[in-house]
Amino acid sequence: MSEQGRNWQEEIVDHPVREYITYILSGAITLGLVGFLLGLLLHTPWIVFLGLGLGAAVGAYLAWRHLVDHRRSQQDSTTS
């Protein structure tokens, strides 16, 4: 396959670190923001740190599942 014919899904296998960083940062930012808002609402500022940690863990899990599913679909397409 030529370089120009490659799509973003095929580039994931070439750059999984970039995907991991993106998922981890977006998860931490999203759940950190939720934790910040809950901290303001409940007057418990420590919830923001819980949200940041939980968001990073969820982001890492989602990146790992995405990579596993992508590799599985590639294997299925090559064996069929």
pLDDT digits (tens, 9 = 90+) for 26-72: 999 999 999 999 999 999 999 999 999 999 999 999 988 988 887 88
Residue 4 is assigned to a structural domain of this protein: no
pLDDT at 44: 93
Rounded Cα distance, 66 and 18, in Å: 13
**Per-residue tokens: 15:** 């750059």
Give the pLDDT of residue 27: 95
Residue 28 lies in a domain: yes
Within a domain: 43: yes
pTM: 0.73
Kindly state whether residue 5 falls inside one of the protein's structural domains. no
- Alpha carbon separation from 10 to 19, 30, 34, 56, 69 (Å, rounded): 12, 27, 33, 25, 13
Q: Into how many domains does the chain fold?
A: 1
Binned at pLDDT 50, 70 and 90, residue 80 comes out as: low
Rounded mean pLDDT of 6-20?
68
Domain that holds residue 51: 16-79
pLDDT of residue 39: 95
Q: Is residue 36 part of a domain?
A: yes
